[in-house]
Each structure stands twice: as C-alpha cells, then as structure tokens.
Amino acid sequence: MGYRLSKIYTRTGDQGETGLADGRRVAKDHPRIEAMGELDTLNSQLGLLLAELHEAVANCPGLAEVVAVLTPCQHRLFDLGGELAMPDYQALQAGEVQRLEAAIDRWNEEVGPLENFILPGGSRVVAQAHLCRSVARGAERRCQQLNAAEPLRAEALAYLNRLSDLLFVAARLIARRQGVDEVLWQAAEKPQP
C-alpha cells in the first residue's frame, strides 16, 4: 500500500470540495462522496457491532461464527469505498456476494421463517445488528443514487444488498443464540366506533 496520509489536515477542503484518488475535485455533497460517507458510517457501525460481539462471545460462544462471517465485511466495505474513490479500481469480487448468500442461507435455516414483523431490540447486540442493517440500506440507496448518474459495478450494488440481508438474519441469529426474545411488532389498537 503506497499511499499514506502524512498530514491529517490539508485545508484543501475548506471551500466545500474534496479530492478523489484520480485527482478530480468534487463537491463534498456530490453523490459519490455521499455514497463513500454512508459506507464509512456503515463500516463504523459494523465495527461497533463486532466489538459488542467480541464481548458477548464470552457468555455465548455461538456468536464466534457471527464474528467470523462479519469481520471480513469491514474490509470489503473499505474495498468498496476504494472503488468509489478510484472509479477505475476494482477490488470487490463476485465471490464475496456468494459468501454472504451462503451465510444467509445457513443462518436462515437455523432461525426459521419469519412469521411476524420484528423491531430492533432484545439485547444491545441485536439492536446494533439492526442498526447496521438500516445503515447498510442507506448506503445502498446512496450507491443506487450514484449509479443512476455514474454506473457502478453490479458486484458492488449486489454486495450492499446482500450485506443488509445478512445483517437482518444475523440480528435474528444473535437473538436466538443469546436466548433472548425478538421484539415483535404490535399493531396499534383500532379505534372504537
């Protein structure tokens, strides 16, 4: 890896622009920067989830598998951010989408079919997994928005879609393995006539 930041502040962004790795300057609210920012937020939230999971493994060893599946996702999100920063760069492979699909299928088999709408909660780790899922959906929306203007690789879009699915199933699996009830949505009572 040849490029390292030698200085954290450069003052080049003070006027509302930032540089891409290919040398282009774009507005800080450009769809590409918005998408990169959402990926960064997702990666940070995923890091928090992994930290929570590492602590939870002591009381629930079955969560180690979740850690093993999610840990590479942080690196792939960083790769995807690199692809957005350097539009000609390609790091994310189709095999990563298949890896997520295999985990989704395996975990979904264990948790069984979804019979009710569920809400984030049950435990701190379950809620954090749901937060990651919702942030992943936001990152996917930002990337789709960028894709409408500047086409992205299909693998990148598929990866984000599967990652949000994986995080949903992971939240359910974590609840099951922790032995906590999922929080079921309860419809509002209908007004009496």
pLDDT tens per residue across span 133-171: 999 999 999 999 999 999 999 999 999 999 999 999 999
Confidence of residue 7 (pLDDT cuts 50, 70, 90): low
Size of the chain, expressed as the number of residues it contains: 193
CA–CA dist 133, 105 (Å, integer): 17
Q: Could you give phi then psi for residue 73, rounded to 5 degrees?
A: -60, -35
Structure tokens at 75: 């690196």
Number of domains into which the chain is organized: 1
Highest mean pLDDT among 20-24, 96-100, 187-191: 96-100
Instruction: Identify the pLDDT of residue 76.
Output: 97
Would 193 be classed as within a structural domain? no
Would 10 be classed as within a structural domain? no
Mean pLDDT, residues 7-12 taken together: 56
Give the range of the structural domain holding residue 157, as residue numbers without chain letter. Answer: 27-104+123-180
CA–CA dist 108, 59 (Å, integer): 23
Would 61 be classed as within a structural domain? yes
pLDDT tens per residue across span 79-89: 999 999 887 88
Q: Is-contact 139 72, C-beta < 8 A?
A: no
In this structure, what CATH number is given to the domain that contains residue 142? Answer: 1.20.1200.10
pTM for this one? 0.88
Would 64 be classed as within a structural domain? yes
